[in-house]
Amino acid sequence: MFTQSYLSKLVLSGFVVAMSFAGALSVSAQTPAPTPTPQDVQPEKLEGVPEVAPGFEAQDERLPDLGRVGVDLMSQKSLALQEAIIRALENNKDIEVSRKDVQIAEFDLKASRGFFTPTLTGSAYFERAKTPNVSVFSPQLSTTADNYVADIEYKGFIPSFGTVYTAGFKNRKQSSDNPLSILRPQYDASFQFRLVQPLFRGRKSDEPRRQIEIAKKNLSLTDKQFRQQAIDVTVAVQKAYWNLTFALRNLQVQRDGVRDAKEQLAHSRRLVEEGVLAPIDAVAVQTQVANLEQNVYSALEQVNAAENLLKNLIAEDSRDPLWNESLVPTDRVDLKEPVTTLEEALQTALRNRIEIDILDVATEINEYDKRFYKEQLEPEISFTASYTSSGIAGSPNPDALSIFSNSASTERLNQVINRVNTLDPNLPPIDQLPIPPARNVPESFIGGYNGALGDVLNNRYPTFRVGLTWIWSPDDSAQRALLGKSLVQSDKLRVQREQLEQAIQVDVRNSLQAIRTAKARLRSAAISRENSEREYESERRKLDAGLSDIYKVLERQTALMNARSAELLAQTELNKAITDFQRATGRSLEENDVETRLKK
């Protein structure tokens, strides 16, 4: 039996080697070989080519260190998916930049509203003015006047109608040595209210109100862009989380495969000692162990890359202690598949996709621009109205000179009249001029500042004004060009929306199909894994009974490990497909329960 078994193994080994050699020839035949250079060089004559690891012998059969660079495997960090998403939203630099953009937009809105902020202006000063006297009514060479001024004005707006109104109060105390001034000092006070109301252009909209509306929309736009950034980060964290979950589980599968292979190696060595297997069969199993160990390190490299990717998304900075910890995902891998129809998913996506909202905001800005530029073509006519109440008071000027109450001059004129009357008695006589009484300051003018203020409050000296103002330009081509640009922009936004809706439809269709396909692959992978387990155990029993050979066992073992990895990959792909579906329908934040956290 030993001889037949041994010969059969040798024949089978030769067959495998022959098939491998034939496969190599086939691959070589498929790859075009370069035109050989005619030279006679034998392999043993090659010089200067170093040998690969000369003298190396693998004496230690233990698996080398499976640690990861910079990670303490004893310090494990249990991590749920929601916690990872929240950490990313709090620490991600792009999210922080988006938050700052929202704050900048808020300040822009406040700044644009500043145009309609009521203003209170005032001035108070003392002025002394000395001017030359050129009046024939005063013999003085110069006049000196002291003025004390205190004015205040309030300016307000009614933005809804473009109304501008002002209310001001002026006060002045004047003291002058001018002999023609009957009051010294003299107090002047006045109150004025003025209103300007656009009737056509500027009544519904103007440039300041346009800037405010644009700032409002930009704030809304920035907030939506921030939410889009949050969705992108959430999706990236979800995929990184499931990739790490797969990498860790795949690493465990590979390590389990090495363990099983070592058990098979020990078992094979016992069979060799018993004479059931040839020594070369144990070598084949040992080769299998070495190959599977290589898979372990490939899987470890995947774990390291996946873990670093996730840490990069959720760590605050390079000094975060998280970098030194070993992440252990805790969420269940069997996510619940969404139950929906294509039509429902499309309607959900059109309601929730941030891209649609962003385009809607741009459309709203365009609609306001069209109304604004259309109004700019209307005539610029404004209704104006004003009311002023003035008052005056002061003390009589003892040095005042009254040219109309000079009795000496009147007497000289009367003398001249008498002489004229005596020249011709036949002519009717000219009446003499009455001597005017000395002029006194009216009692209503006498008083201090309270007297002038009383005149204002009692409306003693009012002034009313009502009228229209207009501005006309013969060339309005610039305004018409801006209106035409806004109309073209409207058409552009309409086309972009149609294009976006179609792209969203494709996205939703693809994500739904990806879920169905991934689910089907997971089912097939699970069946394949179950059957591979049965085939592997069956082949091992056959080997023990002498009905099989070690190569079939190794083949079944390799197939089992591949099936396990394929099942894990199918489950991961299903979870990532569900993640893409959440993104496609715009519900990534709601489905992961981070909506309230995002508002903080």
144 and 192: one domain? yes
Note whether residue 112 is domain-resident. no
Q: What is the DSSP string of 165-222?
A: EEEEEEEEEEEE--TT-SEEEEEEEEEEEEEEEESSTTTS--HHHHHHHHHHHHHHHH
125 and 153: one domain? yes
Predicted confidence (pLDDT) at residue 11 exceeds the cutoff of 60:
no
Note whether residue 92 is domain-resident. yes
Tokens of 421: 């009357």
- Count of structural domains within the chain: 2
143 and 241: one domain? no
449 and 485: one domain? no
Q: How confident is the model over 544-584, as pLDDT tens digits?
A: 887 878 888 888 888 998 999 999 999 999 999 999 999 99
Note whether residue 68 is domain-resident. no
Q: How confident is the model over 484-541, as pLDDT tens digits?
A: 999 999 999 999 999 999 999 999 999 999 999 999 999 999 999 999 999 989 988 8
Note whether residue 513 is domain-resident. yes
299 and 242: one domain? yes
Q: How confident is the model over 416-429, as pLDDT tens digits?
A: 788 877 877 777 88
Cα–Cα distance between 411 and 495 in angstroms, integer? Answer: 98
519 and 550: one domain? yes
Specify the CATH number for the domain of residue 487.
1.20.1600.10
256 and 338: one domain? yes
Tokens of 143: 């006049």
Q: How confident is the model over 31-45, as pLDDT tens digits?
A: 343 444 444 444 444
180 and 98: one domain? no
Range of the structural domain that residue 174 is part of = 120-198+381-404+439-471
Q: What is the mean pLDDT of the chain?
A: 83
Note whether residue 29 is domain-resident. no
Cα–Cα distance between 287 and 281 in angstroms, integer? Answer: 10
150 and 295: one domain? no
Cα–Cα distance between 200 and 374 in angstroms, integer? Answer: 11
Tokens of 380: 């610029």
Note whether residue 78 is domain-resident. no
Q: Cα Rg for the chain, rounded, in angstroms?
A: 50
292 and 178: one domain? no
Cα–Cα distance between 99 and 359 in angstroms, integer? Answer: 20
396: preceding bond cis by omega (within 30 degrees): no
Tokens of 200: 């056509």
pTM of the model as a whole: 0.70
pLDDT, greater one: 332 or 22: 332
**Chain centre distance of CA 185:** 65
142 and 232: one domain? no
For 313-325, what is the mean pLDDT? 91
Predicted confidence (pLDDT) at residue 430 exceeds the cutoff of 90:
no
Tokens of 282: 């144990």
93 and 165: one domain? no
Helix (H) or strand (E) holding 325: strand 325-329
Note whether residue 420 is domain-resident. no
| Cα 528–Cα 530–Cα 534 angle in degrees, nearest 5 | 110
Predicted confidence (pLDDT) at residue 196 exceeds the cutoff of 90:
yes
Looking at residue 303, its pLDDT comes to 93
